[in-house]
Amino acid sequence: MSDDPRILTAAGPLSRRVRSAGALRRMAAAMFAMPIEVIELAPRWIRIDEDEQTRLATAADPQGTFAQLGVSAVVGASTCDVAGRFRLRVGPLDGATFRSFFEQEGVRRRLVEAVRFAVGPSVDFDIQLVLHRDAVARPRLGEATMVSRDGWMIAAAAAQDRDDAVLAGRWTGAVAAST
């Protein structure tokens, strides 16, 4: 990522200790020449390790564990976290640009690297792709089509842009969608 000359356009905002969503949006939009919106506080479910889950008081443990209401008590093995993730909403995109996010060396890898370079490793993010309604294809018999990747189960021309595809904001070489 650091050898990409386009990163120089963001040198000023990247030199700041605190980086804003607006600066990140401008950097990514300029580097990739596509509409990008940063949606802050995107909810995600995080798993709570069993040894950190709430346990009510018992004879053996009269205080309980993580059992103080309003402070540490959580019902269940997971909790909704809104502060630890943001979403990049990219598009509307034409069909070729949309499909390039699913290629091994496509736009997604470069975007993930640039954003990770800008925000660091501690904040999670995902990428929501928006396909322009004119590029939404209906599956046809005899053609290889992957639903929600390059074809949708629709009877008529799309009336609106499609934003079903949400990809993980990390690059592992895999191109599967996340939830």
Give per-residue pLDDT as tens, 118-143. Answer: 888 888 999 999 999 888 877 777 77
Residue 172's Cα: distance from chain center in Å?
Answer: 14
132 three-state secondary structure: coil
Number of domains in the chain: 1
Contact by Cβ (8 Å): 101, 146? no
Domain span including residue 10 = 5-43+82-166
Both tokens assigned to 81: 């976290």
CA angle 40, 164, 98 (to 5 degrees): 95
The SS3 call for residue 167 is strand
Predicted pLDDT at 36: 95
Question: Would the pLDDT of 116 be above 80?
Answer: yes
Confidence of residue 156 (pLDDT cuts 50, 70, 90): confident
